Structure 1
Amino acid sequence: MKHSNAAFRLSRISFAVTAAVISSTAFIAPVQAEQEESVEVIEVRGIRASTEKSLNTKRFADGVVDSITAEDIGKLPDVTIADSLQRVPGIQIRRSAGEGSTINVRGMPQVTTLLNGEQFLSAGSLTTVQPDFTDIPSSLVGAMDVMKSPTPTTLAGGVSGTVDLKTRKPFDLEEGFSGAALIEASRGSYSKETDPKTMIAAGYNAERFAVLATLTKDEVNLANYTYGSTNHGWGYAPQEAAGCWYCPDGDINGDGDTNDAEFTYVGYGMVNRFTERDRTGGSLSFQAQLNDNFELSADVFYTKMDDADRQRGLMADNAWGGHWDWQEQHDATERGKTADGYNLYTAQDITLHAPRVVAHSESHTNERESTNYNFELTYKGDGNFSGKMRLITADAERMHTENVAQGYMTSGLAHNLRRNEGNGPIAVNPGGYGPGTVPVRLNYQGDHPVLLPPSELQGEVFGSNINRYSVVSTYSENNFNEDASLDIFRLDGEYIFEDMGPLTKMSFGARLGNRDVTREQYVLLAPFSNPVGEGSVDVMWKDQGLAAFDTDGSGGVPSASDGDLTMGYDTPYTFDKLPDGWVQQVSDFGPVNGGSYYFIDPRQLDDPFAFQDQLYPGNKKGGVPGSTYEVEEETQTLYWRGDFSSDLYTANVGFQYIKTDLEILQNVVGDSICVGCPGSVAADGGDINTNKSFNDFLPSLNLAVNLSDDLIFRSAWGKTMTRLDLGAIAGGLQVSRSRAGDDLAAREGISPDLLIATNASMQGNPELEPWRASNVDLALEWYFSPSALVSLGVFKIKLDSFIETSTWKMPLADADGVVRREVNVTGQVNGQGGTIEGAEFTYQQAFDFLPGFWSGFGAAFNYTYSDSESGRVDFYGDALPLEDNSKESGNAVLWYEKDGFQFRLAANHRSKRLAQVTTTGGMGDTAIWTEPTTYLDVSASYDVTDYLTVYMSGSNLTEEYESNYAQWKDNRISQNVYERRLTLGVRGRW
């Protein structure tokens, strides 16, 4: 991969020089005498105060805006930023290990997130405009504005909305020294770990200069469990005697005919999953009133998170191909005809005749770090003109690893996986269950799906017999390193008119931005002995039964006589022979009693090189050119805005013009560089350099009419766009291959060990156009007290340009280079567009008009209806909404604040949502839905003194879980269970 240099780049040195020049020039200017009038800053705290401040922001906003304000330094009302944002009307969140991670506004994730009004880098999502909110410690943020209508002065980038994260400014502090600190401990209902968090913020305001520093650190261990299908993309409806490569022969359901198909997945599991996160965040802000005309600001915003997602799961699968008659349905429901005319059946009580059952261990680790610098010089003269120059530079990096170890509980004979070192074939796990398939019961009919192996695999008979487990397969894939940089230079100006009638102000500006993202993806390859020649061959899937050579062309069962020999090492790694501390017995599967089994401790997998080298020495990186790329995005922006006002109304109208230039460096995927590897693990066949440009003209209009002193009517219209996900335009074609198996081998005359193309993923499409839309808002807002609001709004988003995931057929070669069939290829394309229409209702009020005790209560309620069309259809051809959009969502909050005591109970509800659309073999497009959820949170605190507060909080009090079903509500396929979290803490301020 060649490296390309952007035309516009601001280095750290240039920033330092610029800042020094600005500072020295400004300080040379005469410093004026102390201002005749000083403004006293009164900082208000508490639920009522933060509510009033948020309502004030909304009331006087220049568009359709909702706001959240922290009650005090370092105190947002929820655990994460996303958890707080879900309280805003129209916002829905996605969770990562139970914590809020990403958001939708009005059903769409195409949301820009800004930091103090400008773009920034978040290490968890370097290619997108929305960060991973788990990266950002909530203690660093003082307020959040959700802007649902565009304005010319707000940086464009969100189709449905823009979130502006605001940090506290030093000049907002009380004069002199002040600060805050907290220490807290949290604990999960399943994890049983006590997790600490600390935060300290200290500032000094000397009136003409001020500084504020905040440092926060927390550790968290989150338990969550997964049951059922572990990969929704690998669903099939095998058809009886259909002759296709994945179809079984004969009558699979025993009804005497061969015109049926049964919906199934390639594998099912019962997974114990723990996520460990170590977050560090810091911010440093400086402000100086250089003289009466100039103010200098400088900010540093730093985040670092190291995390590990560790999984231990009992997995039953059909050995990834060739065994599609593996399920026996006990309560089959007929669903209609497939496109090929077969009667389709689904079931919620199934016996899986599994050729393979494994104790699966997996570790995903991340090291994420980002630093954002901001410098501002503001001019406010005596005249009508004011302006600002802003310089931003940032860099971020992320290192990600994935490492897997599969301990076989089966012998391997049921799917013909044998070892042969020249003395004849033997089972890869001689002590395992076999030689036949394992009857595993899978039942979805209770509250939680249950995967129940036979008694032979449980307890003292097998589960507690450590020497019957063997490490048959290990691999490390999807590892990557990402680096990104961001440089921005921006000039803003404002002119106030005094005698131009309704025209009161004109704003204008120009901006240059450059973002660069580089990604290198790799797998780990180990040298295996060559059974038919000298030297060694490189292998990614280190499999004790891997037979890569069919020396006599028979394609039969490996044996010493026919020459099919196994690569690798002489002795299987049974669990009893592994190093001390590697193996642990686990019976924790959350609310499901799933038995007790041995697993390799996934902590041993955190370092892929160290683990893989213990078993198979000499690992090295193998490139994945299809997921290795470099993209540079350069934007040039001009904007103009005019503000108009009278006693009756306020309005703003204007435009943004954005020119975007992209330089995309992709790799050609060359020949495979290892034996038995997927086609994506290949040589770099050279560079594909694509230069692309597009322009966007985005006009907007916002109008607020004062119908009375307390009643405001708003209307807004504007064009919006979202910048492209740089990863979605830069990757290459990745081909997935799996072992052919006996059935297909017999039909096509190939070796059962041949890795055949099964599907492919188009990682990047340089021809994608951004999301573009036209937005309309109408709202009526009644502020009937300083802390009360009733509002009703309607909105419509018409998507002109739409990016969706689609699947099409493409002829692709098997591992031997021969093209034998067409397979499904999935990738992103521009769709025909869609619409979102809906309404939002909000009510909130402090009941301070009530007498005595009751005056401390307050309540808030909001409801959003968001109906969408995506242009996609399901199995029956019925129209589908946008993915991840709940048609209905809402929040209800009851709070109390009086005499130093505060209490808040909050409920968040989402109706069902479309999780994804998969193309299921044999039945076409299938809608995967997530059932409705309601999360309940609580918090309480007591002010011991004016400077010391004790508090507690609880999230997900009811241990809500998310269940998924395929196409039909009574066809559940998987479930994610999250834990309840309780927190106790002490906060002080001075």
Structure 2
Amino acid sequence: MSQENFSDVVVMMTRKSQYRFSLKRTATSLAVSSLFCAPVFAQETPVQTDTVVVTGIKASLSKAQNIKRNAEQIVDAIVADDIGKLPDSNVAEALQRITGVQISRNRGEGDRVQIRGLSQTQTLFNGRSIFTAGKERGLSFQDVPAELLAGADVYKTPTADQVEGGIGGVIDLRTRRPFDFSGYKVAATLKATEADFAKKDNIEGSVLLSNRWNTDIGEFGALLSVSKQKRNYRSDTQELGAPAQLADGSGIYAPTGSWTAYELGSRDRTGVSATLQYRPSKEFEFYLDTAYTELKTKTDTYGFFASPFWANYNASTNSGQLWPKGAVTAPNNLFQSGTFWGASMSTSGYIGDNETTTSQLALGGSWKSGNWKIKSELSHTNSDFSRLYQEVRLGTWTNNPAFTFDLGTATPSAYPVLGNASDLTTPSQYWADKGLYFRQKNDGHETVWRLDAEKGIDTAFITRLRGGLRLSDRTAASAEINTINDIFSSSATGAVAGASTGLATQIGVIPYNNLLSGAGAGVFPKQWLSVMNLDWLRDPATSRAALGLSVPGFDAAQTFDYSEKTRAAYGVADFESNFLGKNLTGNLGLRLVNTRSQRSYNQVSGSVVTAQTKSRDENDLLPSLNVRMDLSDKLVARIAASKVVTRPNFDQLTPSLSLNANDKTGYIGNPDLGTLSANQFDTSLEYYISDSDHVYGAAFYKKVDGFIQTSMQSLVYGGSTYNVNTPRNGDNGQIQGMELGYQGFFTHLPGVFKGLGLQANYTLVESSAPGPLGGQKTQLEGLSKNSYNLIGMYDDQKLSLRLAYNYRDNYIAGTQNYYTSNGAKIAQTPVYMKAYGMLDAYISYAISKNLKLAFEANNLTKTVRRSYYSIDNMPRGVYVDDRRFALSLHLDM
């Protein structure tokens, strides 16, 4: 390929589209193949290692099955073609297809990942640890585009040579290397996407270039893979305020308010992976791996908030209470509908922009001779995260001081009783209220050196001995500022009371009036006044000056620096024997980890902020056993036992503040917080029907020590009182469950029907853990007891189809304050997300041997997610997201 042609490809893949298009119209001709020419260098006889060549669904399933079947532990895998065959925009969405994996969603995209009910997973990138800078330890899976991967392995049980830190499991994300291919390789995708709710179209794409050469001084390989995504979205929300007892003494609970919002945003995701490999002889091999991911999100939100839970009627006796205006409908003492005195209302216009970058560089090599193999690697990971949030809030009122709830409608009704139909779009009904500013900056670094050695042993029982060292030095730092200020100007003369001239010019009627369309009938405000050009808020110096405010710096009380050095050593003995006439193999290992941490922070005591430093030294001894028995040439049984450990997040270990000036809540860590550990036992039975078909079942049990709970306390800071949560180690808990799965093609069917196939898996997870509120034991937060995947497939020489349905039942999504005794006391209640499923589809047609046209769709069912409070099962949230469609052209040669 000439340098000019390669430049053309990169420019075409990354240039922002200058025009809009519709997937409903005929797709523009995408003449990609003409940009590639024959390889410059002739190839010598190649080493055949084509592990990622796309040759159809059946071939990809066969590769994933081989990983599972040949592994020394319990593992599930997906390979590149699996990821590419479903509309997965990021790694989290790709992983949801794996048995035992559950994901949460954020604005329609996959977000957090759990394995068998636990979010404390260890994430690896080509076998080495990777993370996203922040208060947590792990990787934000939505940062990584799915196209960048060759595959992903989810290890349910550990071996002693794997990095510690995941009591849920270990996820290893694998990228491609040049020696994976037999020679020259070019692959490219150009994709047109559409989000139907946002009514936005985008162009995105990916390209992979790889080659290898034989020379007089050895064999060289080079690979470059680039993925670029730009996706717009719209997410509509309704959330009802936490329950409170009515002030009439009935004991009935009703919502305290309602928040409705249009959220419009974009995700700009970039992934780059590059590798050099060098094999000077058959004994030695060296590599240089580099990877870079970047996720930029921009969010514009227009919101409306109203609450009758305020000082009204008679402030001296009814302050902060919920007073009905007339009769309340409450069958069986469960609130359904009613009107209340007064409505404290405001509108919000705000931006929330995030930027995350993560880079990794690794230099390594290996030596093999006889029964010996030695590997060593030095790597460095760097990650940065920044967030800017700025909001302008306007107060508003109506000529009729009453507010109505009706929870009997499909979408709960929550609306002010208007004096005039135009109350919420009339400037004279508004005043300038608050200005909010939040900024956060995190950075993290880790340098790791590891050495691994193994030697084959020719004995009657022990077949191989392995051992190694791993030294790591990781740092994490965080800084925040969170402020709220009055912006009413007594000298202002415009229609919006108190709005300075600079602010008044930004205010208008929001350009949307179809809130929560598709969520079902209900009555709630759909249009109001707000700051119109939210980009104005992306320049804090200008916008805050117009509000009469300055841009604040970071708050010393909301910063911390954390340093952690670990020293790990392990030993593993692989064994093989004959037991009851069956072949028995496995490994027995022990990993010893020493962790030395130091945290620097500013501790708040009343109005005094004092710099503090605290150190800690911990040791962990982690045994593991994995045993496999071949009951026949098709039937494999496994058992595993191990101890695993993970450490709390950085903010949990560092008593610096994290404050929300809006609702006067906060979080402060606990430097004496202990680790979480689990003793676990696993077993599985796998029957391999053919090269691509199998059925399996697994059962697991985890006894977890040191579950983290939170307790609430009051803290006075900066003249304001905050309700602050603090973590502590609670009681022990346990998790148990089972997994069932099948994949296969119905080759016994006649003719074209032989291409039909099915993937199906089901996970049952039961947990008994101390609740996040410190009370009785309950299910783990974020855990669905039941989840399953059903994927119908069709694959022949040219046509490939997949229809995938992913389901999970209800789960605890978080906790919320609620009000007892007519508002005199505050307690906390779990918030549950209702069960939901999503249907995705993929169809591709091979135009030629090297060119394929594909169409994909996400969320065909237009799933509306809903949540509720545990108090009287009262509705809490309604969330409506886009359906996504894409038309793409794939080149593979």
When the two structures are superposed, what TM-score results if normalisation uses the length of structure 1?
A: 0.78
Instruction: Sort the Cα spacing of 1:386 and 1:783 in 2 relative to 1 into closer, same or farther, 3 A.
Output: same
Aligned to 2:836: 933
- Partner SS for 1:113: strand
1:579 and 2:505 correspond? yes
Distance 1:963 1:606 in 2: 31
Alpha-carbon spacing, 1:813–1:873, altered in 2? closer, same or farther (3 Å): closer
- What do the CA deviations read for 1:842-895 (whole angstroms, capped 9, x no partner)? 1111122322111101101111110001123999x8642111111111111100
The Cα shift of 1:583 comes to 5.9
Contact 1:350 1:442 in 2 (8 A): yes
Question: Match of 1:870, SS?
Answer: strand
What is the deviation of 1:943? Answer: 0.7
Distance 1:703 1:832 in 2: 31
Distance 1:721-1:466 versus aligned 2 partners, 3 A rule:
same
Cα distance in structure 1, aligned partners of 2:813 and 2:114: 13
Helix, strand or coil: the match of 1:921? strand
Go from structure 1 to structure 2 and tell me whether the alpha carbon gap of 1:372 and 1:74 turns closer, same or farther (over 3 Å shift): farther
| Matching of residue 661 in structure 1 with residue 672 in structure 2 | no
CA contact (8 A) 2:601 2:611 kept: yes
Q: What is aligned with 1:191?
A: 198
CA distance in 2 between counterparts of 1:326 and 1:640 reads 68
Q: 1:266: Cα distance to partner? A: 4.7
Q: Secondary structure at the match of 1:58?
A: helix
% same residue:
25
Does residue 1:471 correspond to 2:432, yes or no? yes
Give distance in 1, aligned partners of 2:526 and 2:656.
Answer: 43
The reply to whether residue 384 of structure 1 matches residue 384 of structure 2 is no
Q: Does 1:261 align with 2:251?
A: yes
What does residue range 859-938 of structure 1 map to in structure 2 within 5 Å? 859-872=758-771, 879-922=777-820, 924-938=827-841
Structure 2 distance, partners of 1:40, 1:316, is 63
Distance 1:74 1:388, change over 3 A: farther
1:293 aligns with 2:283: yes
- Number of aligned residues: 824
Secondary structure of 1:237's match?
strand
**Deviation, structure 1 residue 275:** 2.3
From 86, 108, 118, the equivalent of 1:108 is 118
1:494-509 paired onto structure 2 within 5 Å: 494-498=454-458, 500-509=459-468
- Decide which moves more: 507-516 or 963-972: 963-972
* 2:516 aligned residue: 590
AA aligned opposite 1:586: Y
Report the counterpart of residue 442 of structure 1 in structure 2.
Answer: 405
- Cα distance in 1, alignment partners of residues 707 and 773 from structure 2: 18
- State the match for 2:854 in structure 1: 951
Shift of residue 902 of structure 1? Answer: 0.6
1:978 to 872, 875, 881: 881
What is the rounded CA distance, in whole Å, between the counterparts of 2:307 and 2:573 in structure 1?
A: 63
Q: 448-457 or 572-581, which moves further after superposition?
A: 572-581
Question: Does 2:525 correspond to 1:627?
Answer: no
2-side partners of 1:522 and 1:584: how far apart? 29
Q: Quote the Cα distance in structure 2 between the aligned partners of 1:121 and 1:447.
A: 41
Alignment RMSD, CA only? Answer: 3.0
1:637-667 per-residue CA deviation (whole Å, 9 max, x = no partner) reads 1111111124612101111111111101111
Task: Give the corresponding residue for 1:534.
Answer: none
| Structure 1 residues 206 and 457: alpha-carbon distance in aligned structure 2, compared to 1, 3 A threshold | farther
Query: Residue deviations 1:309-331, cap 9 Å, x none?
Result: 22111210357774322556965
Within 2, Cα distance between the matches of 1:814 and 1:519? Answer: 19
Of structures 1 and 2, the larger Rg is shown by 1
Q: Secondary structure at the match of 1:49?
A: helix
Q: 1:850 to 1:292 in 2, by over 3 A?
A: same
**Paired position in structure 1 for 2:4:** none
- Inter-CA distance 38–47: structure 2 relative to 1 (3 Å threshold): closer
Q: Tell me the distance in 2 between the aligned counterparts of 1:860 and 1:494.
A: 37
Distance in 2 (CA, whole Å) between partners of 1:216 and 1:735 is 37
**1:63 has 2:73 as partner:** yes
User: How high is the TM-score relative to the length of structure 2?
Assistant: 0.87
What per-residue deviation string (whole Å, max 9, x for no partner) do you get for residues 76-114 of structure 1?
662321111111111110111111011111111111111
The verdict on how the C-alpha distance between 1:320 and 1:825 changes in structure 2, with shifts beyond 3 A counting, is farther
Task: Name the amino acid aligned to 2:546.
Answer: L
Q: Say if 2:420 is the partner of 1:483.
A: no
Aligned partner of 1:422 in structure 2 is none
1:853 is matched with which residue?
A: 752
Between stretches 201-210 and 82-91, larger displacement belongs to: 201-210
C-alpha contact 2:500 2:547 (8 A) present in aligned 1: no
Matched, 1:211 2:222: yes
- How has the CA–CA distance of structure 1 residues 734 and 88 changed in structure 2, closer, same or farther, with 3 Å as cutoff? closer
Q: How does 1:272-351 map to 2 (within 5 A)?
A: 272-318=262-308, 322-326=319-323, 332-333=329-330, 346-351=334-339
SS at match of 1:57: helix
CA distance in 1 between partners of 2:290 and 2:634 (Å)? 40
Q: How far apart in 2 are the matches of 1:986 and 1:761?
A: 49
> 1:604 is matched with which residue?
535
Q: Aligned to 2:515, what secondary structure does the other structure show? A: coil
Mapped contact 1:69–1:76 kept (Cα < 8 A): no
Partner of 2:707: helix, strand, or coil?
Answer: strand
Q: Distance in 1 between matches of 2:120 and 2:88?
A: 23
Shift of the 930–489 alpha-carbon distance from structure 1 to 2, 3 Å rule, reads: same
The answer on 1:761 being equivalent to 2:772 is no
Distance across 1 between alignment mates of 2:536 and 2:734:
45
Of stretches 688-697 and 271-280 in structure 1, the one that deviates more from structure 2 is: 271-280
Structure 1 residue 967 displacement after superposition? 1.3
The aligned residue for residue 369 of structure 1 is 357
The letter of the residue matching 1:858 is G
| CA shift digits 1:200-247 (9 cap, x unpaired) | 1111122511111011111111111111326xxxx35347xxxxxxxx
Q: Does 1:396 align with 2:374?
A: no
SS in 1 for 2:706: strand
Kindly provide the amino acid, as one letter, of the partner of residue 164 in structure 1. Answer: D
What SS does the aligned partner of 1:626 have?
A: helix
2:488 corresponding residue in structure 1: 544
Shift in alpha-carbon separation, 1:618–1:453, aligned structure 2, 3 A:
closer
C-alpha separation in 1, matches of 2:47 and 2:185:
19
CA contact (8 A) 1:645 1:651 kept: yes
Deviation at 1:169, TM superposition (A): 1.2
- 1:663-690 deviation per Cα after TM superposition (whole angstroms, max 9, x unaligned): 0111123776xxxxxxxxxx8x331100
How much has 1:363 moved relative to structure 2?
Answer: 1.3
Which residue number in structure 1 is paired with residue 237 of structure 2? 226
| Residue number among 495, 514, 520 corresponding to 2:473 in the alignment | 514
Question: Whole-Å Cα distance in 2 between the matches of residues 735 and 793 of structure 1?
Answer: 43
State whether structure 2 residue 204 is matched by structure 1 residue 200.
Answer: no
> Could you say which residue in structure 2 is the equivalent of 1:987?
890
1:451-850 pair list within 5 angstroms? 451-456=414-419, 458=421, 461-466=422-427, 468-477=429-438, 479-498=439-458, 500-523=459-482, 540-544=484-488, 572-573=498-499, 578-579=504-505, 584-591=510-517, 594-601=525-532, 603-604=534-535, 606-607=537-538, 609-610=540-541, 612-617=543-548, 619-646=550-577, 648-669=583-604, 685-733=609-657, 761-804=666-709, 806-810=710-714, 812-813=715-716, 825-850=724-749
Unaligned runs of 5+ in 1: 1-33, 240-251, 336-344, 411-432, 525-539, 547-564, 673-682, 739-757
- State the Cα deviation string for residues 352-385 of structure 1 (Å, max 9, x = none): 544322221121111211111111111112x211
Q: 2: CA distance between counterparts of 1:38 and 1:393?
A: 30
Letter in 2 for 1:121: F
- Please give the secondary structure, in 1, of the residue aligned with 2:820: coil
Mapped to 2, the partners of 1:74 and 1:856 lie a distance apart of 19
Aligned counterparts of 2:83 and 2:334: Cα–Cα separation in 1 = 54
Query: Deviation at 1:457?
Result: 5.9
CA, structure 1 residues 132+570, in 2 after alignment: closer, same or farther (shift >3 Å)? Answer: closer
